[in-house]
Amino acid sequence: MHHQPLLVVLRADHPLDLHSNLTRLADLGVRHVEIAWSPRNPDWAGQCRQLVMAFPGLHVGAASVCTAAALEDVAHAGLSFAVSPVLQPAMLQRAAQLGLTLVPGVFSPSEVWQAIALGCPMVKLFPAVSLGPAYWRRLAGPLGPLPFCIAAGGLGPVDLPTWLSAGVDAVALGGELSSDEAWSALRRWMASQTR
């Protein structure tokens, strides 16, 4: 993510329904994609495994991972990372046992401090839109060196320059990428990164 500070989160109960969106993202040159874990699909892991094989150029992980069962599915899917909206030490331990990178969600200074104390090299600031782009940088003074930060929750392609220049390390786009206008904005941002 140091080379492309962007993740795109896709949601569908049946991951194979995301094939066309993954094709669009791959064609744009997007590298990092999260597929939201769904407890409603018993074959979530199998379908994700098929997508990983179909899109070898994408680094695919899982989003919305909040339980040990979800972590097991992520491991069975062959995904290398998972992202959670919450910080749970037991989940971090289980992810390590499974050989997965788990990026925990943080919101308050106390949660950021706990993530630092637990040795988390990367966190998800969620929901970022509720905090504003200046929030993360303001924590650096009292908390010291901060982990790599992915701002997520309520952000769209037009927010990328503002948040990145404000000090977060990467931005995750999700539901805000649901219109043709948003896809056009993402296309413009991607084009600006290759210049």
Mean pLDDT for the stretch of residues 33-58: 95
Q: What's the confidence (pLDDT) of residue 107?
A: 98
Segment 98-104 long-range contacts (CB within 8 Å, at least 24 positions apart):
98/71, 98/72, 98/74, 99/75, 100/71, 100/74, 100/75, 102/65, 102/71, 103/150
Question: What is the total count of domains within the chain?
Answer: 1
User: 56 pLDDT exceeds 70?
Assistant: yes
Give residue-wise pLDDT tens across range 84-143: 999 999 999 999 999 999 999 999 999 999 999 999 999 999 999 999 999 999 999 999
Task: Residue 16: give the domain boundaries.
Answer: 6-193
**Side by side, which strands form the sheet with 101-103?**
101-103, 81-83, 59-63, 32-36, 6-10, 170-173, 148-151, 122-125, 105-106
166 domain residue, yes or no: yes
1 domain residue, yes or no: no
CATH number of the CATH domain containing 157: 3.20.20.70
Q: Fill in the DSSP letter of residue 194.
A: T
Q: In whole angstroms, what is the distance from residue 9 CA to residue 174 CA?
A: 5
